[in-house]
Structure 1
Amino acid sequence: MWPQRLGAPPHKYNQAMLDINLLRKDLPSVVTRLQARKSPQAFLNVEAFQALEAERKTQQIRTEELQNLRNTLSKQIGQLKAKGEDAASVMAQVTAFKAELDSCAVRLEVIQNEMQSLLLAVPNLPHESVPPGTGEDGNVEVRKWSPVEGPGGEPSAFAFKVKDHVDVGQPLGLDFELGTKLTGSRFTVMQGPLARLHRALAAFMLDVQTAEHGYTECYVPYIVNADSLRGTGQLPKFEEDLFAANKGGQEGEAENAALYLIPTSEVPLTNFMRDEIVPEAKLPLKFTAHTPCFRSEAGSYGRDTRGMIRQHQFDKVEMVQIVHPDQSYDALEAMTGHAEAILQKLGLPYRVMLLCTGDMGFGATKTYDLEVWLPAQNTYREISSVSNCEAFQARRMQARFKSAQGKNEFVHTLNGSGLAVGRTLVAVLENYQREDGSVAVPAVLQLYMGGMTVLTPA
């Protein structure tokens, strides 16, 4: 159940994704850490920030001066009236100060909005344990697992020439041509036992994450508003990756009424906490959901055009944790293990990679990728990404908890795939294929398949 709420403040994004105090106190250090990220993610207009910050300080100092003068003069007015003396000239000064105070307040709000627009495009800062690097070549292998050898094991070799999931899957009901006919490229239709296997994978993943790892299963909207996407960092920087459902809102509605198809259920699940304050004792909160995900894959044209690796629509079982800041790195390790458990139960070889500074996602401060073995490609491919965002998303969402001392503090948010269903299906088809074209059903899925042990081409 959703925990008892201590308060839901009026929705207003009044914090940057990064800690504004850190930017003010140690800007050179922040810039250095951002430069470790891959361009163009490392985007901060330092000159613009410094100019806005200098003006903010000036306006703030003048505001405080005017408030002090107004308070002093207000006391004088009271004293003059008590003596029966004329206070008109002093009252005129107070009126003039009020006009200037109002002007300062208006300018401070403009500065705040400009600062927010500037900082919304700035990614999270890498954790000190993240290795430096400019791209995927800088990622570090943490561990490897195979069903035969266990930890550290290598994938087993096949005694026959393996086929890729396209050639294995098409006789079993995988239809790319029909997907293209119905919608366009990078959409897929599945029929018969193959569609059931896809459903079985999702149900199995949900059962493991809820029954064994303590996540609460959720059903969430597949369409969200712009506030939700700003809260988790997809907007405004990555709007081109989204599918707009009614961009700009319905006729007569404001721009912020725009709706978008979800790129991942991380967005609605994490936004459960938007504008919320929960008791510390209720943390951690652990949510999971199975949803389709919709991505335009902007910038990926020409990559993975064959098969199901990179689709505009795919299913995923997502894991989200909302935790106390002191617990987020323990939670990151635990969540990575929760994703690994699915692969191990399915008997799929994989490895865990620690992403370098240049390969992490926009909102992450530390990320592990799980890569499953695909024998037809003779390589490992990403099947899950598990990230700690620390307070990066929480600042945007105003997601907080009330500490034992009564102080409102930002939570830390984490998300990860547990797993991407389509890519898991790809891995099952390739790793469980037989020479005659059939595919063995992994033992843990046979109950979900009504006892079926093998998929045979029609």
Structure 2
Amino acid sequence: MLNRELWRNHPEVVAKALQMRRSEAPLEELRQADERFRRLQAELDGKKAELNRRSREVGSLFAAGKREEGEALRRSLAELSKSIAELEKELAAARSEVERLELLLPNIPHASVPEGEDERGNRVERVWGEPPRFDFEPRAHWDLGPALGILDFERAGKIAGARFAVLWGQGAALERALITFMLDLHRSRGWREVYVPFLVNRDCLVGTGQLPKFAEDLFHVEGTDFFLVPTAEVPVTNLHRGEILEEESLPRRYCAYTPCFRAEAGSYGRDVRGLIRQHQFDKVELVHLATPETSYQELEVLTGEAEEVLKALGLPYRVVTLCTGDMGFSAAKTYDLEVWLPGQGCYREISSCSNCEDFQARRADLKYRPKGGGKAQYLHTLNGSGLAVGRTLIAILENYQRADGTVVIPEALRPYLGGQELLAPET
């Protein structure tokens, strides 16, 4: 959520940001609703002051023996009280409308973010690793996995429908190995692991920005206030909701595994083959809480940590800064890590690392107390995948495939698979 003083006093700044983002967020509607709210507030304050002033007059009239005038004034005050009650209802509705509309404004892009309409405006920052060369035509994971007997879309469809997958045998073990490997790597480098609920309440999703704007992408548990987590970013960022942390305890760096559940309501027809865009997938998430002065340094640290996973697995990738038109709702700046997929002949996103500045903190009431004392201030929140597990599995299958259909297991994962070096077809 943006600082209310920003869109009230500097609407031109917000309007420019919305233009850069190609966003149609209702800034003018919000400002009109806010003007009505403030007008009603001023009217209510005036009537309450009048009620207090004239209430004192009633006692004076009765004390002076002017009973008739006192009764008349008392009746008049009863009408004024009724008017005040009606005005309070109007004010409450106006306040709710302002709060609803301001939740629809996206974050302001950082000055270093390139302006652009879509992914074509993104900027490549660096490239790591060389894409493997094959003396055969590399296959995509949706062919490799079923041929190995580890990836089954048909039976998943029978159980749940499209955009689900079943992993058999070595595939299931590889998925589990990747999760443990990532968590072990992050823990060894100082991140604190946390295991969180996979169901969250509405306040959590408002806090991180998924609600109200992206309700259609969420799975809501009917008859409850619970939602399945779209990412561990939601529960982990909300761990300290409503708290005031001491600056000495910052930055806080957390890592967490969760399954993720997304309706993908706006992506029908995209990535319908394979594991790229599923309704359910596993992810290890990195979440940082930092001061405003250190948050962009923390963004580099967080991004570098996600890169370490790819480097350890020997997977070629590149780092891309998302442009204003391609950036997520809550982010002020985002780096995407894109891994090379030989079977598709292109780089595909495997992690998004974002600094949300104080946008989520204002929504979730996340604050810290400065070292020198004084008023509590809003934290800056950061998050990124470290990594999306299913997409990492895809990258391993495609980058480490061999002509005979087997797949070499990266050395870093072999201890997690009992020393196994090769994925071979299962019977």
How big is the shift at 1:326? 1.8
For residue 26 of structure 2, what is the aligned residue in structure 1?
44
Count the aligned residue pairs: 420
In 2, are the aligned partners of 1:280 and 1:401 still within 8 Å (CA)?
yes
Structure 1 equivalent of residue 230 of structure 2: 263
Matched, 1:124 2:107: yes
| In 1: Cα distance, 2:110 partner to 2:58 partner | 56
CA distance in 1: counterparts of 2:270 and 2:31, whole angstroms: 40
How far did residue 349 of structure 1 move?
0.4
- Equivalent residue number for residue 373 of structure 2: 405
1:345 aligned to which of 303, 308, 312: 312
Correspondence for 2:273 among 303, 306, 331: 306
The match for 1:165 is: 141
Q: How far, CA to CA, are the matches of 1:97 and 1:126 in structure 2?
A: 48
Is 1:135 equivalent to 2:103 in the alignment?
no
Out of 322, 326, 331, which is 2:289 matched to? 322
Q: Aligned partners of 2:298, 2:97: CA distance in 1, in Å?
A: 35
The unaligned stretches of length 5 or more in structure 1 are: 1-16, 147-153, 250-256
Paired residues of 1:77 and 1:87 also in contact (CA < 8 A): no
| CA shift for structure 1 position 95 | 6.8
Distance in 2 (alpha carbons) for counterparts of 1:448 and 1:411 = 37
CA RMSD of aligned residues (A): 2.4
Structure-to-structure mapping, 1:170-249, within 5 angstroms: 170-172=146-148, 173-212=150-189, 214-246=190-222, 249=223
What residue in structure 2 maps to residue 422 of structure 1? 390
Query: Matched residues in 2 for 1:226 and 1:118: separation?
Result: 17
- Residue 441 of structure 1 corresponds to 409
Distance 2:354 2:108 in 1: 13
What does residue range 318-397 of structure 1 map to in structure 2 within 5 Å? 318-397=285-364
- Alpha-carbon displacement from aligned partner over 1:135-189 (angstroms, at most 9, x marks no partner): 000000011000xxxxxxx423222221111222223311111211221111111
Quote the residue 1:145 is aligned against: 128
Secondary structure in 2 matching 1:34: helix
1:8 counterpart residue number: none
Alignment of 1:62-101 (within 5 A): 62-66=43-47, 92=74, 101=84
**What's 1:11 paired with?**
none
Gaps of 5+ in 2: none
Code of the residue aligned with 1:42 in structure 2: it is E
Moved more, 166-175 or 354-363: 166-175
By how many angstroms is 1:68 displaced?
A: 5.2
Contact 2:260/2:282 (8 A) holds in 1: yes
Q: 1: distance between equivalents of 2:77 and 2:188?
A: 66
Partner of 1:34: 18
Describe the SS at the equivalent of 2:325: coil
- The farther-off stretch of 180-189 and 165-174 is 165-174
* Compared CA separation, residues 357 and 44, structure 1 to 2 (3 A): same
- Aligned-partner SS, 1:271: helix
How does the TM-score come out when normalised to structure 1?
0.85
**Deviations 1:292-349 (Å, cap 9, x if unpaired)?**
1111111222221221111111100011112212221111111110110100111100
CA distance in 1, matches of 2:85, 2:366: 30
1:288 & 1:42 partners in 2: Cα distance?
Answer: 34
Moved more, 163-172 or 315-324: 163-172
Q: Does residue 19 in structure 1 map to residue 3 in structure 2?
A: yes
- Quick one: which of 276, 292, 304 aligns to 2:259? 292
Residue 326 of structure 1 aligns to a residue whose secondary structure is: coil
Equivalent-residue separation in structure 2 for 1:168 and 1:377 (angstroms): 12
Separation (CA, whole Å) in 2 of partners of 1:325 and 1:108:
34
Cα separation, 1, equivalents of 2:359 and 2:32: 24
What displacement does 1:281 show? 2.4
Residue-by-residue CA offset, 1:352-392 (whole Å, 9 max, x unaligned)? 00000000111111111000000111110000001111111
Q: Is the 8 A contact 1:126 1:364 kept in 2?
A: yes
1:55 corresponds, among 36, 55, 60, to 36
Could you tell me whether the CA contact under 8 Å between 2:15 and 2:27 is conserved in 1?
no
Q: What is the alpha-carbon distance in structure 1 between the residues aligned to residue 111 and residue 181 of structure 2?
A: 36
Structure 1 SS opposite 2:205: helix
Cα distance between partner residues in 1 of 2:231 and 2:316: 25
Letter paired with 1:221: P
SS of equivalent to 1:36: helix
Q: 1:245 to 1:61 in 2, by over 3 A?
A: closer
Q: How many angstroms apart in 2 are the aligned matches of 1:63 and 1:244?
A: 39
| 1:155 has 2:135 as partner | no
C-alpha change, 1:387 and 1:42, in structure 2 (3 Å) is farther
Of stretches 332-341 and 265-274 in structure 1, the one that deviates more from structure 2 is 265-274
- Give distance in 2, aligned partners of 1:457 and 1:357: 45
Give the Cα–Cα distance (whole angstroms) in 2 for the partners of residues 437 and 344 of structure 1: 24
SS at match of 2:21: coil
**Whole-angstrom distance in 1 between the partners of 2:33 and 2:274:** 49
1:377–1:107 distance in 2 versus 1, CA, 3 Å:
same
Identity of aligned residues (%): 49
Residue identity opposite 1:131 in structure 2: P
1:10: which partner in 2?
none
Q: Structure 1 residues 451, 397: closer, same or farther in 2, change over 3 A?
A: same
Tell me if 1:456 matches 2:427: no
What's the offset of the Cα at 1:424?
Answer: 0.2
Partners in 2 of 1:290 and 1:87 — Cα distance? Answer: 76
**In structure 2, do the counterparts of structure 1 residues 238 and 72 end up closer, same or farther at CA, with 3 Å as the change threshold?**
same
Task: Say if 1:87 and 1:211 are closer, same or farther in 2 by CA, change over 3 A.
Answer: farther
TM-score, normalised to structure 2's length? 0.91
Provide the secondary structure at the position in 2 that maps to 1:448.
helix
CA contact (8 A) 2:132 2:399 kept: no
